[in-house]
Chains A and B, each alone.
Chain A
Amino acid sequence: MKMRSKITLGFVLVIIPFLVAVVWGVVSLQEASEGFTEYRELARDTNLAGRLQANMLMVRMSAKDFIISTSDDAHEAFEEHFTAMEGFMQEAQQSIENTERAKLIDEADERVTEYGEYFDKVFEESHAILDLQTQELDVAGP
């Protein structure tokens, strides 16, 4: 083998593993970057879901308090937490991009709206009962 061929072959033998290492490194770096982006997205979604869940529990607690006391304070607390929850729900709908998670959020939003409507009915009915009691029963006497 000529000296020129030997040098070329040696060069090729060195350059090939080097290129493989470079390509491998770039691919791994890209994968890591994608993984990190995914992780950040997941962290953000988890964070938002946490806020949403906290407000949902507060809504549930104030609904329960209202059912027990039928007080204006409990009703105000419900409205306050419900509005906050709706805000987080909207934020979640805008920022959650993952299809599966977005679908779950849409489903949760529907149920939340339904829950709000039922609570309004409970509120109206409890007032109707109170009105009946003060304007009819109390007036008529025992």
Chain B
Amino acid sequence: MEQDELLEEEEEQYQENKYLLFRLAGEVYGIMIGYVTDIIELKPVTYIPDMPAYVKGVINLRNKIIPVIDLRIRFGMPEREYDDRTCIIVITMGELSVGFIVDTVTEVKEILDTDISDPPKFNESGIDASYIAGLGKVHDEVKILIDVEHVLSQYDIQLLQTNANAKEGAVS
């Protein structure tokens, strides 16, 4: 009985432990697959004025307007030319769908809770690392696990939501 319960618990964690891994500036990052709804090749992005620099614009994905964010810029990394490996990972948080531009996606990997360490604390240095959910250890490598809900501030979410809705209205 106890074994059954443990098995249940283990199974239950399955989806939570699966991460879509992608590369940004040579490092590997992970997003919980529960948030990921699509992976698409880079397509033409419509520029939206007066947006934060990391918001590259919007795309029309199957008649849905989705804001697209360049994660390199969002994380303060140097920009680079997009190539055929550049991808957009479409994630959904509640009613908002957002596309993250990444260098390339690599694989879906299971990382157990026991292999995840807490993110480093930068409170005193003033660095905002709240978007790091943890550091996953896979063999000798470290994967930076992203807390999707902290990549964007509440202000950003509202701004993107409003713009996407306005664009969607214009399209329909």
A interface residues, Cβ below 8 angstroms from B: 40, 43-44, 46-47, 49-51, 53-55, 57-58, 60-61, 64, 67-68
Contact B12 A46 (CB under 8 A): yes
Segment of B14-22, B44-52, B93-101, B161-169 engaged in the interface with chain A: B14-22
Size class of the B contact interface (CB-based, 8 Å): 20 to 34
Contact B107 A58 (CB under 8 A): yes
**Closest Cβ–Cβ distance, residue A25 to chain B (whole Å):** 22
Contacts of B15 in A (CB 8 A): 46-47, 49-50, 53
**Closest Cβ–Cβ distance, residue A125 to chain B (whole Å):** 17
Contact B33 A57 (CB under 8 A): yes
A80 to B105, CA, bound (A): 18
Q: Any chain A CB within 8 A of the CB of B38?
A: yes
> Which of B8, B18, B107 is close to A40, meaning CB atoms less than 8 Å apart?
B8
**Closest Cβ–Cβ distance, residue B13 to chain A (whole Å):** 9
> Which of B8, B12, B39 is close to A57, meaning CB atoms less than 8 Å apart?
B39
Contacts of B105 in A (CB 8 A): 61, 64
A43 to B6, CA, bound (A): 13
Contact A51 B20 (CB under 8 A): no
Contact A43 B18 (CB under 8 A): no
Closest 10 CB pairs of A and B: A50-B15, A47-B11, A43-B12, A54-B108, A47-B14, A50-B14, A60-B39, A54-B18, A68-B84, A57-B108
A68 to B39, CA, bound (A): 14
A46 to B34, CA, bound (A): 10
Contact B39 A43 (CB under 8 A): no
